[in-house]
């Protein structure tokens, strides 16, 4: 009997997603509305409880925004120190294969993901990794163009012989 409200909320959230009625974000809103409706139906919601819920929500939102602002400042410092460019120069100088570079990026995200919130993590190192990926992409295109032109040159010389 005590589990019925939880089952109803879970059913509403998962049911709306699996039925194709709602996206995950919309399903979260459905869960919040169904929890609110259940509280009203059971008579457990008072103005004081509603104010406490609003206060707790504001605290959590402020904390998350503080993390995002801190990550934005950290990202700005990264750019000011030209750290993304130095990382690209380091990778170019070491001549790592693209697979090794991508593996290192995944490991860095994995380790940071243990300690840093996801949006903040993306803000902190997203610019550096974007430059690394663009550099690898340019190098791969240059290699492919060089192979294509050498193959074409070989075809031309073999036809003339």
Condensed to tens digits (0 to 9), the pLDDT of residues 100-136 reads 888 988 998 899 888 877 877 887 788 778 888 888 7
Q: Say if residues 91 and 135 touch (Cβ distance below 8 Å).
A: yes
Whether the CB-CB separation of 105 and 132 falls below 8 Å is answered with yes
CA gap 148, 59 in Å, rounded: 59
> Per residue in 23-36, is it b (16+ CB within 10 Å) or e — as a string?
eeeebeebbeebbe
Percent of the chain whose predicted confidence (pLDDT) is above 90 = 25
Percentage of the chain modeled with pLDDT above 70: 88
Confidence bin at 71 (pLDDT 50/70/90): confident
Separation CA 35–CA 15 (nearest Å): 15
Q: How far apart are the first and last CA of the chain?
A: 89
Q: Which helix (H) or strand (E) holds 75?
A: helix 47-80
Q: For residue 116, how many other CB atoms are within 10 A of its CB?
A: 19
The better pLDDT of the pair 63, 138 is held by: 63
Q: Environment class of residue 127 by beta-carbon count within 10 Å: exposed (0-12), middle (13-18) or buried (19+)?
A: middle
pTM of the model: 0.55
* Rounded alpha-carbon distances, angstroms, from residue 8 to 1, 21, 46, 53: 12, 17, 22, 21
Confidence of residue 152 (pLDDT cuts 50, 70, 90): low
Which pLDDT score is estimated for 128? Answer: 79
């Amino acid at each position: 009997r005590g589990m019925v409200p939880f089952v109803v909320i879970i059913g509403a959230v998962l049911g709306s997603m699996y039925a194709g009625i709602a996206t995950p974000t919309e399903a979260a809103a459905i869960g919040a509305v169904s929890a609110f409706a259940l509280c009203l139906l059971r008579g457990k919601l008072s103005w004081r409880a509603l104010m406490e819920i609003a206060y707790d929500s504001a605290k959590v939102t402020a904390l998350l925004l503080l993390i995002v602002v801190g990550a934005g400042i950290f990202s700005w410092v990264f750019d000011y120190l030209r750290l993304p460019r130095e990382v690209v120069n380091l990778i170019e100088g070491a001549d790592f294969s693209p697979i090794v570079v991508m593996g290192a990026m995944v490991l860095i995200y994995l380790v940071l993901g243990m300690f840093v919130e996801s949006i903040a993590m993306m803000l902190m190192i997203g610019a550096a990794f974007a430059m690394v990926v663009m550099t690898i992409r340019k190098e791969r295109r240059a290699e492919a163009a060089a192979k294509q032109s050498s193959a074409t040159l070989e075809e031309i010389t073999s036809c003339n012989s």
